[in-house]
A and B are shown apart, each in its own frame.
Chain A
Amino acid sequence: MMSMTLLGESPDLDAALKIFLSTGHNAALGLTDAAYGPGWIQYRLPWRAELAATGASRLIDPSAIYSLLDAACAMTVWARTGKFAPYPTLDFRVDYLRAPAPGADIIGRGECYAITPDYAFMRGIAHEGDPANPVAHCSGAFMSYKERAS
């Protein structure tokens, strides 16, 4: 079972991403091929029939693309600042720019483009291989996690 603590105890982002992608919804989706750089993280969501919106369509469900983008953004504070800090999602928007190519894998890339001690702001895109031709765009606000004073 993953917890915030376990992620926080990871020695580096590589180890944390392994835990992140091997847990629950992320693992069930099959998110893979983690890559990251300053302030950004990306995964690949491999096509499989179980993720289709309808059986006949071979189109990945829009909500699976949402999950890919949400996951891609979730750990980008670490990629930006170099240290773990949990920032749960406050709000998250996805614009579906067009239908995805049938049967295609989807790449999702998230970026933390602004951060304060309390809030972080993310944006990202999903595409089938050409970032200049995105299938979806996302943006969201995240809030730093603080223990409540008792």
Chain B
Amino acid sequence: MNDTPYANFLAIREDKDADGNPICVMNPGDTAFAREGVMHGGAIAALLQAAGKHAVTHALKAAGNASEPTVSTISITVDYLRPGKMTANRAIGKIVKLGARVANLTVQAWNDDPKKPFATAKLTMGIQR
């Protein structure tokens, strides 16, 4: 990704899934490590937040916004369902509502099987047009 130092620091990059939906992919290294084989909860939150932001910026572009709106996180709540492994993982944000000033999302992250997420998040994002 361009000009996103913290995402680069954690090896998080924007991508698309097979259906063209915006996702984020992470290849966790030492900077995301917590303990043997397990990612740090904060690094997991960063992946979920990045996927949510990617979903919102993608949706705003698709809606034909001329200027590039600023998208910021108002709040995030992460549920840790199982340990996040230190292997390649992915996250996708689903927009529940895209409003004029706020977007509400649910995001999930998984290692191998999208039906077995290791973490989910409820994300509230602010939009400044």
Known: A64-B6, A96-B74, A96-B75. A28 touches B31 (CB 8 A): yes
Q: Is the CB of B30 within 8 A of A61?
A: no
Would A53 and B42 be within 8 Å (CB), given that A93-B76, A95-B75 are in contact?
no
Contact A91 B80 (CB under 8 A): yes
Across-interface contacts of A1 in B (CB, < 8 A): 35-36
A62→B30 contact, CB < 8 A: no
Instruction: Give the residues in chain B near A90, CB-CB below 8 Å.
Output: 79-80
- Whose C-beta in chain A lies nearest to the C-beta of B33? A24
Per the CB 8 Å criterion, the residue count for chain A at the interface is 37
**B residues with CB within 8 A of A:** 3-7, 9, 30-36, 39-43, 45-46, 49-50, 72-80
Q: Would A24 and B46 count as touching, CB distance under 8 A? A: no
Q: Which residues of A contact B49 (CB under 8 A)?
A: 62-63, 66
Stretch in A44-52, A77-85, A114-122, A124-132 touching the partner: A44-52
Q: Does A25 have its Cβ within 8 Å of any Cβ on chain B?
A: yes
Q: Which of A26, A50, A71, A92 contacts B9 (CB 8 A)?
A: A50
Instruction: Give 4 new A-B contacts, CB below 8 A, not counting A25-B40, A89-B41, A92-B45.
Output: A24-B31, A25-B31, A61-B7, A89-B78
Q: Is the pair A25, B9 in contact by a Cβ cutoff of 8 Å?
A: no
Report the nearest A residue to B46, measured CB to CB.
Answer: A63
State which residues 56-88 of A face B: CB under 8 Å: 56, 61-64, 66-68, 70-71, 88
Contact across chains for A49 and B5 when beta carbons are under 8 A apart:
yes
From A2, A55, A66, A93, B3 is in contact (CB under 8 Å) with: A55
